[in-house]
Structure 1
Amino acid sequence: MKKTVSMLCGCALAAGISISAVFSAYACTGVIVGKDLTEDGSTIFGRTEDLEVNHNKAYKIHEAGEYKAGETIKDVSSDPENGYSYTFTHDSYRYTSVSDTTPEYGNFDEAGFNEKGLIADMTVSATANDKVLAVDPYVDGTDSSVPVGITEAIITTAVLGSCDNARSAVEFIAEEVATKGAAEGNGLVVADHNELWYMEIYTGHQFVAMKYPSDKYSVFPNSFWLNECDLTVGEEKEHFNISKDGMYIYSKDIFKVASEAQTLKGKEDSSSIDLYASYAGELSDSTESRVCSGIKQFNPDATFDGKVYPFLQETKKKITLADAMAFTRNRLESIDKVADDMSRGDLYPIGNRNTMEAHIYHLPSTATAEYPGTMWLALGSPLTSPFVAYYPNQTAGIKEAENEENEFNEDSVYWLAMDMLYMVEYNRDEFQPIVSEKINALESEELQNAVTTMLSAEEATAKNQEE
């Protein structure tokens, strides 16, 4: 991390330019790459967290027992008095996070490891179509007599603090959404050393989670993407079902709600449903530009038929960690367009000015519960911030990564990257190549020295701080 801070300072000083502006966006983009498609047999997944500029994010370590058994946490993001709440059944596990620095508006812990080897990456926001929402609306406080349902602001805190593995995390979320409701639509990923699950929360109480296959890749900006699924009942739990093939965990009324809304594409009697066609809202131009360019990033030969994009994609290319980093910086080069960050139109890129942080998880083929993998994190936009490796068991970050100040200061990775972004935007043609060259050199060195086996806590901490 010291190398990163030095590089950021050096670029900013070399340019000597800083301007400021504020634009907002709603533009997270997720990616998953199965192990059969990677060069080293690893599983890769991650996300760009996009909302707005000048929105600090900080790396945090939450020690075991931060929340005690019987202690209740409350989501204040939508309603401080009537927000979603969760009561811990045991002392919370130790976990890491990449968090907002304004807890009075919600935790937004977003991504991290816990001590059990669980990884959570939450969320990519999405909204269902109006017809299904009329049947099963979001539990968003419109009815003040009912507590607000679960949201992005608190879901990662609850999951990493309480769940043991990916499967238990999916079942936990399923229980919470079924019984307390969801205040919003979301896509999310949970993983461990054995498996990865992708989950979509559609409406107030409807959801589907899929155990991700090893021979596919997926790109998922702000919409729902699961296509045709076989939801033949294998096991019925009190609040959700498990498919016969064990590949899906889903809400009991997933067919019923779509049927009542007259949006159902599929047949309940044959257990088939096209979830995208049944539940998703219309694709925005900015979502379409990102899914197209993201798919093409990993498969230049991909073709698109209308506005239906298969969630599970194939490619002959062997994908690397460096490719995943490049994905977060994609500015429509893969579809021969020139990106426009300043609008939400059809030229909106994955690599945009509103990215507050980007993270990529690398789970090696040798992953274990004790060492599930590495998180590569770029605080601020990866256009001007390099990825640095963070380890599950490190005991601290450096102060520049943990800095929670909400205005510019030189002791912050985020704010240095943000300042550099403004410099680049002053003259992108001149300054972006300078910054990119330095970032590429630093990341190339880091990747050459990357560790895929377990380090001691002391070694992990020292290596992160050095980088």
Structure 2
Amino acid sequence: MMKKSIRSCTTFLVGKKASIDGSTMIARNEDGGETPNPQKFVVIQPENQPLVFTSIVNGVTIPLPEQPLRYTSTPDADDAFGVWGGAGINSENVAMTATETITTNSRMLGIDPLVPEGIGESDILTIVLPYIHSAKEGVLRLGDLLETYGTYESNGVAFADENEIWYMETLGGHHWAAVRIPDDAYVIAPNRLNIDNFNFESEETLFSKDLPDLIKKYSLNPETNFVNLRHIFGSSDIKDTRYNNPRAWYVQNYFNPEIEQEPTAHDLPFICRAPRKITVEDVKWVLSSHYQNTPYDPYGKGCEKKKKQFRPIGINRNLETHVLQIRRNVPKEIAGIHWLAFGPNTFNSLVPFYANVNDTPVAYRDTPKTFNLNFMFWLSKTTALLGDTNYALYGSFAEAFEQKTMAACRHLQIEADEEVLNQVDSIAYLESVNQLMADLSLKNANELLGQMVATGSAKMILSFPLAD
């Protein structure tokens, strides 16, 4: 198998009654390995979607339905190891983020082993998103593909339309389960099996058809009176206490500080409700977080052992971050917003790109495989690299840059929302607005880098007082 290293991401979901404006939001940091692995932002047209999909990873061949939809996507700039579409919104305003790498256990893998010749993260967006017209339909299509072809890895996938969010997890090679996220709830899902309490009789759940019988046949449930999928299929090991659970703890503490929990606890809840409405800025903040105001902040003042104890959400391996927002009470032409930021989240900013377009700005679309500061991925990577050398010195610059960029882009968005219906060609108009936002973001990021270089030059070790 031509397979890249597993991508250890963080997913965040917000129901329509939990968000400040009534929109649904599904978001994720796509994290990679230690090498940069540049990303790009593109639109896939129906005529460019194959009739038969063949995976570069393992050669699995899958016939695809006719009449695919147009969709946005955030694939790798280097497609030698597969597409890795990542996330997108299709022309029916259905959003999909794929995928969150999760864990399982030997009990389930002994019953239903992973399938080396099956489908995986590299393929899933391409073979699902262009063919669905609702979030629930996305779960059913992917579920059918999993049961037919199997998968070679364990993953979590989220779908959203203007009314619903569904979160789905794979269980072994062919099995899966999904839950409709309550409208008034939020979810933080790190790299573990996240779904906990599950009702097979509910209309708010979906699952592979033989899953209840499989649990009973193989005596998988450690409980007597209820079903908890995390207890049945999850790992709950020492790695989770350092790598996964603390991320959920920190986000839940941010929105619900009144609840006392331990960062290493395995049974942190899956479905959560905040006492206030959640904004896009909130989502970006938690997906950029690194345990601020705790002893575990790598940039903080705690002891070195505690500063390295837990894996943060904002990390050097952030490749891209998306917030897929499906807005309500606006014309369908402007309902889908593909918020996007490239690179490590401590030194970048989300940009609210309209999804109903035929093309994307060059600085985001044509990311080269090698370093080039004219493209947003490489510019963001550079500011983060320099910023990491002295966060105390540069951090305030990054905060000002992010607020300045998001405020300016929001202003452009407000104007465009009001003007778009007066346009003869709404798609061309939205593309021009996206270009303005991309230009603004690139300009501000260049100014940020220049400010950091100017300030940091005076702090270089190779310095000596000027002669009198």
Question: What TM bracket, shorter-length normalisation?
Answer: 0.7 to 0.9
1: distance between equivalents of 2:322 and 2:163?
A: 20
2: distance between equivalents of 1:204 and 1:337?
A: 36
1: distance between equivalents of 2:222 and 2:294?
A: 31
* Greater relative CO, 1 or 2 (CA 8 Å, sep 6+): 1
Counterpart of 2:89? Answer: 113
1: distance between equivalents of 2:412 and 2:222?
A: 49
Equivalences for 1:298-317 in 2 at 5 Å? Answer: 298-304=255-261, 306-317=265-276
Counterpart of 1:241? Answer: none
Counterpart of 1:72? Answer: 52
Q: 1:369 to 1:40 in 2, by over 3 A?
A: closer
2: distance between equivalents of 1:414 and 1:99?
A: 12
Match of 1:182 among 148, 151, 165: 151
The 8 Å contact of residues 360 and 376 in structure 1, kept in 2 or not, is answered as: yes
3-state DSSP class of the match of 2:347? coil
1: distance between equivalents of 2:7 and 2:62?
A: 27
1: distance between equivalents of 2:6 and 2:61?
A: 28
Aligned residues: 416
Q: 1:336 to 1:373 in 2, by over 3 A?
A: farther
**Identical counterparts, % of pairs:** 23
Counterpart of 2:12? Answer: 31
1:361 is aligned to 2:331 = no
Q: CA deviation at 1:25?
A: 8.0
The superposition leaves residues 9-43 of structure 1 with CA deviations (integer Å, 9 ceiling, x where unpaired) of: xxxxxxxxxxxxxxx88430000112222222222
Q: 1:428 to 1:335 in 2, by over 3 A?
A: closer
1:337 is aligned to 2:337 = no
2: distance between equivalents of 1:340 and 1:204?
A: 40
Counterpart of 1:458? Answer: 428
Q: 1:353 to 1:186 in 2, by over 3 A?
A: same
2: distance between equivalents of 1:132 and 1:123?
A: 20
3-state DSSP class of the match of 2:358? coil
Q: Which has the higher strand share?
A: 1
For the aligned residues, what is the CA RMSD?
2.4
Q: Which moved more, 1:251-260 or 1:189-198?
A: 251-260
Counterpart of 2:248? Answer: 291
3-state DSSP class of the match of 1:346? coil
3-state DSSP class of the match of 1:430? helix
2: distance between equivalents of 1:350 and 1:393?
A: 30
The 8 Å contact of residues 165 and 181 in structure 2, kept in 1 or not, is answered as: yes
Match of 1:54 among 8, 14, 36: 36
1:427 is aligned to 2:390 = yes
3-state DSSP class of the match of 1:229? coil
1: distance between equivalents of 2:163 and 2:19?
A: 17
Q: CA deviation at 1:127?
A: 2.0
Q: CA deviation at 1:447?
A: 3.0
Q: Which has the higher helix share?
A: 2
3-state DSSP class of the match of 1:32? strand
Q: CA deviation at 1:153?
A: 0.4
Q: 1:348 to 1:224 in 2, by over 3 A?
A: same
The 8 Å contact of residues 50 and 355 in structure 1, kept in 2 or not, is answered as: yes
2: distance between equivalents of 1:164 and 1:85?
A: 24
Q: Which amino acid aligns with 2:206?
A: I
2: distance between equivalents of 1:346 and 1:421?
A: 22
The superposition leaves residues 32-68 of structure 1 with CA deviations (integer Å, 9 ceiling, x where unpaired) of: 1122222222222200001134110000111122135
Counterpart of 1:281? Answer: 235
2: distance between equivalents of 1:196 and 1:222?
A: 19
Q: Which moved more, 1:405-414 or 1:427-436?
A: 427-436
What TM-score do the two structures reach when normalised by structure 1?
0.83
